[in-house]
Amino acid sequence: QKEVEQDPGPLSVPEGAIVSLNCTYSNSAFQYFMWYRQYSRKGPELLMYTYSSGNKEDGRFTAQVDKSSKYISLFIRDSQPSDSATYLCAMRRSYNTDKLIFGTGTRLQVFP
């Protein structure tokens, strides 16, 4: 079993839809959670960073962590065609180790 599971998609939604992207994990030691966005033929870029359980909002993006269920989510409101990309979740055990464990990524397509 992989430490981090992520549905590969593709997920195809109309412009303006609310998108929910999710990851599950098996290691309860993970405390720091990240979402990266990767456009085609580009490197991943950090989108959201959260610590422990709870929500974090940044514009149209909300990251949610539920440590009791070992489940993290990224919500995108009012999705735009420019949001079309692959979204990777990543997590690490503590802040004194920088090894990240990545999900395989979910490909999102937002059509006009």
Partner 1 sequence: DVKVTQSSRYLVKRTGEKVFLECVQDMDHENMFWYRQDPGLGLRLIYFSYDVKMKEKGDIPEGYSVSREKKERFSLILESASTNQTSMYLCASSSMPGTKTTDTQYFGPGTRLTVL
Residues in contact with partner 1 by the rule CB under 8 A: 6, 8, 32, 34, 36, 41-46, 49, 51, 88, 90, 95-100, 102-105
Cβ closest to partner 1, residue 25 vs residue 32: 32
- Nearest in space to 83 (alpha carbons), one of 33, 32, 15, 29: 15
Supply the minimum distance, in Å, between the C-beta of residue 18 and partner 1.
Answer: 25
Sequence-distant contacts of 67-70: CB under 8 A, at least 24 apart: 67/28, 70/24, 70/25, 70/26, 70/28
Supply the minimum distance, in Å, between the C-beta of residue 2 and partner 1.
Answer: 9
| Maximum CA extent, the chain | 43
57: tokens are 């909002």
Cβ closest to partner 1, residue 40 vs residue 82: 40
Cβ closest to partner 1, residue 18 vs residue 46: 46
